[in-house]
Structure 1
């Protein structure tokens, strides 16, 4: 019997002036472990008059993870952080009780052609930490645990696995791994995983129990202990998951919470503009129409 419980296909979604491929949440699988949201950005070529411009917007109850393959994003937030995100770096912002940030093409790239390609991910916080003070952490590519084994290059972007630990400050048991290979390789890693687990194919293909799976798909496992598959040559995948929470998570717009009351409180705060502001920025993303949620 196949160990694949569910296949989730990328669905197009408009985030303003930019189209992305939405992977999570999905109507049949809202979360994988604590992972509640995944967008695949690009790859897209932006011309000299096109730029990424996501004005200040709020988050609560989660950590955001931005991981780029190509391009650059300037991150600014209400803590006063101002940092350029480049490929291979990890941008980890923990919203907790509330944070506001903007994401834009850096000024030195705005008048030239450029590429943008990466993943944007939300990781829900445990209920007891939903109102923790907001934090920000940025890891350089050299800070991320990397190693090679049996012809496969591994990176532990966040969490713990294979006896290693990423420096990214996570708040529940989880893992987010990159695996790359230029040659055909068999992968057996079930004993190193825990909780719920899923695999995202960025490029190339994998084979499992007689089936071939290609890019823009998430494969959700039935049992992490049976995680074995073949990576074809020139394949890159991401394996992510962890311990699920006992409580359901509600997602409204950019807010994640374990209670509807917390969501309503955040909506009121944003309508009243009582969140802390991003220094130097005056525009903002308005609250969506009442009842609008993240589209499946």
Structure 2
């Protein structure tokens, strides 16, 4: 292993969000420039998550749920209810606005909140592509020695997800039964794992819950569990050019981020059909800033 990254925890009232990337210890892992883990939690009956419309540029968001559901709306006209087993990939490119809210059915029962929110930096030459959206459900399932792995993006263990990738990307949810084991492939330039439930070891070393473990390139390691656990594997190609992060904006060009700030402040981004009344104002001091 190269390093251990302890995430910063934000308490959002009914649930916690843990941010491992970007951080002073880890700016990126492959194309992953933002890694949040949230829950597990269950909100009170009648409550819900309401992330008002907000903008993104030069990135793709990846939403993956273990429990619960989220209604996604965006400015290219998409409406999609995110559920476990389906990956939602929203490509911001030259600019998109979206909102994320708990469905009415979830609010009536008391919403479950448990999953991952990650951002992928778009590679050089593709940062300003047209915005797009896809929801992919028929994802490969790999099973081996008391372990199962859902390949969310890229190719792992000989199986390839049909989810769009703009740079070499690997992303998988691994579920280990008691005594289960599975090898972690070494094909990516950069890789990391995060234990998000139960217990697990990697190469005999115990993983700490919600801690991101960045792995050394080329090492073939065995992931195992004594009592059962859930682990996320992520990574991909190492970027040769820096990415700047400010609030919801990612770009190789700081001036592009400044332009996006001004565009949002002046109302030049498109509206979200069906959710156009509210928006998140541009913050003075965002929680997420990563300038090399």
Same structural fold, with TM-score higher than 0.5 when normalized by the shorter chain: yes
SS of residue in 2 equivalent to 1:111: helix
- Give the Å deviation of 1:214: 2.8
SS of residue in 2 equivalent to 1:51: coil
Matched residue, 2:279: 284
Structure 1: stretches of 5+ with no match in the other structure: none
- Give the Å deviation of 1:162: 2.4
Aligned residues of 2:144 and 2:182 also touching (Cα < 8 A): no
Out of 160-169 and 76-85, give the one that drifted further: 160-169
Matched residue, 1:5: 2
User: Is it true that 1:228 corresponds to 2:233 in the alignment?
Assistant: no
Change (3 A) 1:15 1:47: closer
CA distance in 1, matches of 2:79, 2:47: 22
User: Is it true that 1:259 corresponds to 2:253 in the alignment?
Assistant: yes
- Give the Å deviation of 1:87: 1.3
Report Cα offsets for 1:116-153 as digits up to 9, x if no partner: 1111010110021110000000012xx00112122211
Match of 2:119 among 110, 116, 122: 122
Match of 2:104 among 102, 107, 112: 107
User: Is it true that 1:213 corresponds to 2:207 in the alignment?
Assistant: yes
CA distance in 2, matches of 1:203, 1:108: 26
User: Is it true that 1:183 corresponds to 2:182 in the alignment?
Assistant: no
Match of 2:167 among 136, 159, 172: 172
Matched residue, 1:45: 42
CA distance in 1, matches of 2:222, 2:17: 30
Structure 2: stretches of 5+ with no match in the other structure: none
User: Is it true that 1:159 corresponds to 2:154 in the alignment?
Assistant: yes
SS of residue in 2 equivalent to 1:128: coil
SS of residue in 2 equivalent to 1:215: coil
TM superposition score normalised by structure 2: 0.93
Report Cα offsets for 1:134-182 as digits up to 9, x if no partner: 0000012xx0011212221111011122232111111000100121121
SS of residue in 1 equivalent to 2:125: helix
Match of 1:68 among 65, 70, 74: 65
Matched residue, 2:129: 132
Matched residue, 2:31: 34
- Give the Å deviation of 1:14: 5.1
Question: Aligned residues, how many?
Answer: 289
TM superposition score normalised by structure 1: 0.92
Aligned residues of 2:203 and 2:221 also touching (Cα < 8 A): no
- Give the Å deviation of 1:23: 1.5
Aligned residues of 1:36 and 1:123 also touching (Cα < 8 A): yes
Match of 2:81 among 80, 84, 89: 84
Change (3 A) 1:235 1:18: closer
